[in-house]
Structure 1
Amino acid sequence: MAQQQTDFTSEGAPPPIPSLSLNMKAIEAATRDLEQGSITPHYGSCRQDVIKLLNDALATELVCVLRYKRHHFTADGLASAKIAQEFLVHANEEAVHADRLARRIVQLNGAPDFSPESLTQRSHAPYDASLDLREMIRVNLMAERVAIEAYSQMIDLIGNTDATTRRLLEDILREEQAHAEELKDWLVG
């Protein structure tokens, strides 16, 4: 078997890493427009697109809060008390997600959109008024899967453009995945 040759200099040291340097013009620009707060030239033109993505995610979380609350108060059946309590836990966690998204939108100098008129149109997941406990679980699992897909795509779209927003979305994604696993266990259990 042929041995792979390593590309070293004649002294046996690895080749030098190309020099890295910061964009000094952008750093200088960061000393101006102080009313922009943490928004520096690094955000470029994508900031408004990120705000739109976050507002749609905010709408999704708010619709999820409403759906889980509805299911919490209307769940009926053999295991309904325990599951209804978990629906309330999920509703509260979705509300925290909504608050975190709204806070990030404001940090990006945007306006969080809580408008009830457009909430369901902007939401990735539907509202549901089912009264059957099994159907409630199924609909909530479907909504969690939709949220998982949407957050995964948002994370890919944002990439390294906005590390703070990406980390926020990754945190929320982890919690949505945990919700989906719990709902799946109830559905098949």
Structure 2
Amino acid sequence: MSSNPSQPKANLSIDTAAIRIAAQNLDDGAVTSGYRGNREEIIAMLNGALATELLCVMRYKRHYFTVTGRENLAVKAEFLQHAQEEADHADQIAERIVQLNGEPDFNPATLTERSHAEYDDSKDVQSMIRADLISERVAIESYRQMIEKIGDSDPTTRQMLVSIMAVEEEHADDMRDFLSLS
């Protein structure tokens, strides 16, 4: 494809001076002067997401250990897999908070009030599945709102949240499928 000489060329150059400024303030770690996100706000959102993921780990673990019956082996395995994936999400979020020079909040005393989802201590498998589906939907909406709020100001955090939300959507589909089997 040939270019039209009468069309102006797109400016594809980058700001070398700004890039070199990034070498300063080494104590800021991954946060360079070009960072456009509101760090404090994003860290606060991520700590809410961290609390949600930690609570989801505990809920799925409780469901895994308390569901009984040979007929529930598949859902029991799904509970365990989801608990492990939620723990991975919590780790990713905590790591990102640290990259943004924040402190991940693992305080168990305030976990439930900071979480977007709720804990569940249902006794029967259908109630467990329903509670997990509700929590997955809450997480999906929470991540959607965070992604929208962050916009293009923090592409790394946005990408992480999009990836986590995709897994939460898979979890919601799994729980919906188990709910429809009853």
Superposition TM-score, scaled by structure 1 size: 0.86
CA offsets 1:79-129 (integer angstroms, 9 cap, x no match): 322211210111011000000111111111111100001100110000000
1:149 to 126, 141, 144: 141
1:48, CA displacement in angstroms?
1.1
**CA RMSD, aligned part only?**
2.0
> Which residue of structure 2 aligns with residue 5 of structure 1?
none
1:60 to 52, 62, 69: 52
| Counterpart-to-counterpart distance in 2, 1:136 and 1:73 | 12
Structure 2: gaps of 5 or more residues: none
2:144 is the counterpart of 1:169? no
Query: Which structure would you say has the larger Rg?
Result: 1
> Which residue of structure 2 aligns with residue 104 of structure 1?
96
| Counterpart-to-counterpart distance in 1, 2:42 and 2:13 | 27
2:130 is the counterpart of 1:138? yes
| Counterpart-to-counterpart distance in 1, 2:13 and 2:150 | 23
| Counterpart-to-counterpart distance in 1, 2:137 and 2:38 | 27
Deviates more, 1:39-48 or 1:123-132: 39-48
Greater relative contact order (Cα < 8 A, sep 6+): 2
Superposition TM-score, scaled by structure 2 size: 0.89
| Counterpart-to-counterpart distance in 2, 1:135 and 1:17 | 61
> Which residue of structure 2 aligns with residue 4 of structure 1?
none
| Counterpart-to-counterpart distance in 1, 2:162 and 2:6 | 36
Deviates more, 1:40-49 or 1:177-186: 40-49
| Counterpart-to-counterpart distance in 2, 1:77 and 1:155 | 40
The number of aligned residues is 179
| Counterpart-to-counterpart distance in 1, 2:77 and 2:44 | 33
Q: Which runs of 4+ in 1 moved over 3 A?
A: 12-15, 17-29
| Counterpart-to-counterpart distance in 2, 1:150 and 1:136 | 21
Structure 1: gaps of 5 or more residues: 1-11
> Which residue of structure 2 aligns with residue 87 of structure 1?
79
| Counterpart-to-counterpart distance in 1, 2:67 and 2:49 | 26
| Counterpart-to-counterpart distance in 2, 1:15 and 1:123 | 53
Deviates more, 1:88-97 or 1:18-27: 18-27
| Counterpart-to-counterpart distance in 1, 2:37 and 2:146 | 17
Alpha-carbon contact 2:49-2:115 (below 8 Å) kept: yes
Alpha-carbon contact 1:71-1:84 (below 8 Å) kept: yes
1:18, CA displacement in angstroms?
6.0
